[in-house]
Amino acid sequence: MRLSEIVPLIELEPLVVIDEPNFQVETVCGCDLMSDVLAFSQEKTMLLTGLTNPHVVRTCEMTDIKFIIFVRGKRPPQDTLDLARERGINLYLSPLSMFECCGRLYQAGLGSETMRRID
Amino acid sequence: MQEQTLLQSKIEQGDFTRGGEVSSSLKDVLRKLGIKSETSRRVTIVTYELEMNIIIHSLGGEIEVLISSEQIKVVATDRGPGIPDVEKAFQPGFSTADDFVRGMGFGAGMGLNNIKHYSDQLTVETGQGKKSKFTAIICL
Ligand SMILES: Nc1ncnc2c1ncn2[C@@H]1O[C@H](COP(=O)(O)OP(=O)(O)OP(=O)(O)O)[C@@H](O)[C@H]1O
Ligand SMILES: [Mg+2]
């Protein structure tokens, strides 16, 4: 699914845009625990989160996640925006809840990523 | 090739503002060296978890990353207070992180399990009231 299709679907407002809007998104990860993102994220995916501190950007940088969507209309602070720009990560804001975002994306055909099992 | 230091950096206790900078600059170094992205991803995740653990759980310490023709070695040392029960600390979900730290998205109790998963070899030297030393090796 193209990012340009996702934008209206979950009412995204762009905050930091680095890549083209025709970027293909295959899977979605909805998570507020950064270590879980580091642990279970196996492929290039899009992160939906309710956290807005700069460590969300750091975590995505380490796992090669290029797109972060902040849910519930929670605007990230300036240092998060600055870090994302510096590290080349796209940020978007959705006014919808985590559940609503995930539901709409799932219904539109996006799957969850394959998760590794705990060793 | 002889072992060479790629990066060596001090890490302060509680320094969340700079937390991740070491791993981030390491990622740039690995990219410049042309290291495969999957390998680089494993090395940076391991380093980031070790870096945040020093910031969150220790009195401060240091991370050194070394490279040879066969492997990348990440060595994280700190000044204590050490881990009393290592087996328990490695259990997924175990965490002593406080609410402030949890509020930032840490404290899932996945870090050590994660470090082990992404390393080819991991050794841990620690104990109650001791310094901790983690040596993680990722093969090239
Ligand atoms: N360098 C360290 N010094 C002292 N204790 C540590 C150190 N690293 C880890 N620990 C202890 O081991 C526990 C488990 O660590 P682990 O990294 O798995 O989880 P966490 O840091 O609590 O949460 P997460 O990494 O998921 O955000 C910690 O909660 C802490 O009690
Ligand atoms: Mg940890």
Can the peptide bond before residue A95 be classed as cis, meaning omega within 30 degrees of 0? no
Q: Is the pLDDT reported for residue A70 higher than 90?
A: yes
Which band of pLDDT confidence, cut at 50, 70 and 90, is reported for residue A42?
A: low
A118 pLDDT band, cuts 50/70/90, is confident
Cβ separation of B20 and A119 shorter than 8 Å?
Answer: no
pLDDT in tens, A51-67: 999 999 999 999 989 99
What is the CA(A19)–ligand 1 centre distance, in A?
A: 35
Task: For residue A53, give the chain B residue with the closest CA.
Answer: B104
Structural domains in chain B (count): 1
| Residue A117 maps to a domain | no
What is the model's pLDDT at position A119? 66
Please tell me the least confidently modeled range out of A58-67, A76-85, B118-127: A58-67
User: CB of B110 closer than 6 A to ligand 1?
Assistant: yes
Position A43 confidence tier, pLDDT thresholds 50, 70, 90:
low
Q: Does A118 map to a domain?
A: no
* Residue among A36, A53, A116 whose CB faces B108 most closely: A36
pLDDT for residue B101: 95
Contact B130, B82 (CB under 8 A): yes
User: Any idea of the CA torsion for B101, B102, B106, B110, to the nearest 10 degrees?
Assistant: 130
Contact B42, B116 (CB under 8 A): no
What's the CATH number where B34 sits?
Answer: 3.30.565.10
The domain in which residue A45 lies consists of 3-112
Question: What is the nearest CA distance from B68 to chain A, expressed in angstroms?
Answer: 22
How far apart, in Å, are the Cα atoms of A54 and each of A15, A40, B8, B17, B71? 14, 20, 23, 8, 31
Query: Whole-model pTM?
Result: 0.94
Residue A56: give its domain's CATH number.
Answer: 3.40.1390.20
Residue A119 falls inside a structural domain: no
